[in-house]
Structure 1
């Protein structure tokens, strides 16, 4: 009988701890913050790195196979306020670790995903600090460690 009470108390304490953790997560979350798409960031970086071996081109629509109509290329170091002003609404994306160029994928005026370039190549020939590129034009040429627009 005594062992049953102890087990019931332990089970009750465990339920309370799990419920407390659940509530802590629920009340401290921020649904408005976008996270970087790490897989897309890694795939884009890899495609840029391997481009000289594969005809020198990176076709962004082939890597980003979700709904988007334009991509906004953002220069590293651009302020959150400047990005918000350019988008026309508050930019709530989480800062990325590597601090490379950002690619904000936009559909109907709203950012649906974003990724960052994590390699050491440079981006040239783009308008800075922002360049807006339509999906059908989002193919980049890579040569001598420099990424350029193809159009």
Structure 2
């Protein structure tokens, strides 16, 4: 009985070490995920702004430090995003969403999210543009003020 228990324990330890080794050697620390909470908050804020007043202050949704926000058209190739950022784009968007919002600070990506609503962005350059701090929102459209 003790020998069987020792064999089972040794087998479990072996497979646990094997699993840890696989995870360690196949990880990719350069990749990062979309901020799902930020994506949901931004999408909700756009919807509420369309109903209530037509204006959305981006800093009320994204209260973390950033210098600028890059708006990226859906379907833009990773290579084009990498060229625009000046470094390899390693973001992993887990939802097949809409426009990407890439938050930058000192030209480093801080966070990114996708717009998950049914509205459209109008008045912005495509496939890239900078998102102003204040947006006009009207009936499912996010509009560049000005």
Q: TM-score, normalised by structure 2?
A: 0.91
Q: CA deviation at 1:103?
A: 0.3
**Residues matched between the structures, number:** 146
Equivalent-residue separation in structure 1 for 2:46 and 2:86 (angstroms): 30
| Cα distance in 2 for residues equivalent to 1:27 and 1:45 | 37
Q: How big is the shift at 1:86?
A: 1.0
**Residues 53, 131 of structure 1: CA spacing in aligned structure 2 closer, same or farther, 3 A cutoff?**
same
Matches for 1:15-26 after TM superposition, within 5 Å: 15-26=13-24
Counterpart of 2:141 in structure 1 is 146
Structure 1 moving runs of 4+ over 6 Å:
none
- Residue 98 of structure 2 aligns with which residue? 100
Tell me, yes or no, if the aligned pair for 1:52 and 1:142 is still in contact at 8 Å.
Answer: yes
- Unpaired segments ≥5 residues, structure 1: none
Aligned counterpart for 2:53 among listed residues 48, 51, 55: 55
Measure how far apart 1:52 and its partner are: 2.3
List alignment gaps of at least 5 residues for structure 2.
Answer: none
Equivalent residue of 2:38, what SS? helix
CA distance in structure 2 between the partners assigned to 1:121 and 1:80 by the alignment: 23
Alpha-carbon contact 1:77-1:99 (below 8 Å) kept: no
Kindly indicate whether residue 32 of structure 2 is the aligned counterpart of residue 37 of structure 1. no
- Give the TM-score of the pair, scaled to structure 1: 0.89
Q: How far apart are 1:96 and its partner, in Å? A: 4.2
Over the residues paired in the alignment, what is the CA RMSD in angstroms?
Answer: 1.5
Asked whether the equivalents of residues 67 and 106 of structure 2 are also in contact (C-alpha less than 8 Å), the reply is yes
